[in-house]
Amino acid sequence: MSNAIIPIVLLMVVLGCGSKTQQGTPSVSGQNPTISAVEKPKDESRNADQWRTSTDGKLSFRISTGKKQYQIAESVKVLAELRNNGKSNISVLPIRCAFGNVGDAIHIVGPRKVRYSGPFKSMPRPKEVTLPPGKVVTAEAAIDDRYEGFGVPGEYKISCSFSGLTSTVSLEIISKEY
C-alpha cells in the first residue's frame, strides 16, 4: 500500500464511512440501522395518536390537520381517514360521509361558541363501499366562514365521528404578526 493511500483509508475509518443495506439505509459497520422520525411513513408521523380503533380492532378512524397553529383568516383543512386493520374486506359508508350530509358533522369547541350556518343539504343515504385490508381512505373538509364563531385567537378542539368512532384534534389560532 502506498503512503498516499494509507491516510485516505484512515480518514474513511475515522469518518465512519458506511455501506448501504438492502433497504438503502446507510449503516455504519457494527451498528443496526434505525428508522429516524424523518423516515417514518407520512401516515404514522402526522397525528399518529389521533387514531381511534373499533372494539373488534378491525377499523380505525382519525381526523387531523396539517399543523397545530394557524394565523387568523388562514385556511384550515381537516382530513378524515379510515383504515381497515383486518385481514378481509369491510363494507363501510364512503369516508366523505364522516363530514355529514348537511355539513354540520364537524363539532368545534373554542373561545366562542362555534356553529355551522349552512347551507344545509339533505341527501339520501349513500351506498356502502368496500375497504380492502390495510387500505386507508381519506376525505377533506374546509373550516371556513360557514362556521360562525371560528377564527378568533385561542385554542380549538375539532371532533368528528364515523362508524361509531370519535376522533378529536386540537389547534391554536394566533394573531397575525406585523
- Who has greater pLDDT, 88 or 178? 88
Regarding pTM above 0.75, the answer is: no
* Block residue for cell numbers 344545509: 120
Q: In the chain, what are the domains?
A: 1-34 (no CATH), 41-174 (2.60.40.2970)
Calpha distance 114→155 (Å, rounded): 12
Contact yes or no for 85/60 (Cβ under 8 A) = yes
Output the pLDDT for position 150: 92
pLDDT in the model for residue 119: 78
> Taking 90 as the threshold, does the pLDDT of residue 140 lie above it?
yes
Please give the average per-residue pLDDT across 144-151, as a whole number: 89
**Do the beta carbons of residue 29 and residue 18 sit within 8 Å?**
yes
The reported pLDDT for the residue numbered 8 is: 36
Q: Can you tell me the distance from the alpha carbon of 34 to that of 17, in angstroms, rounded to the nearest whole number? A: 16
Q: Do 75 and 144 contact (CB within 8 A), yes or no?
A: yes
Q: What is the mean pLDDT of residues 17-23?
A: 32
Q: What is the mean pLDDT of the chain?
A: 75
Q: How confident is the model at residue 65 (pLDDT cuts 50, 70, 90)?
A: very high
pLDDT at 4 over 90: no
- pLDDT over 70 (residue 130): yes
pLDDT digits (tens, 9 = 90+) for 98-127: 887 656 689 999 999 998 888 777 777 789
Q: What pLDDT is stored for residue 73 in this prediction?
A: 86
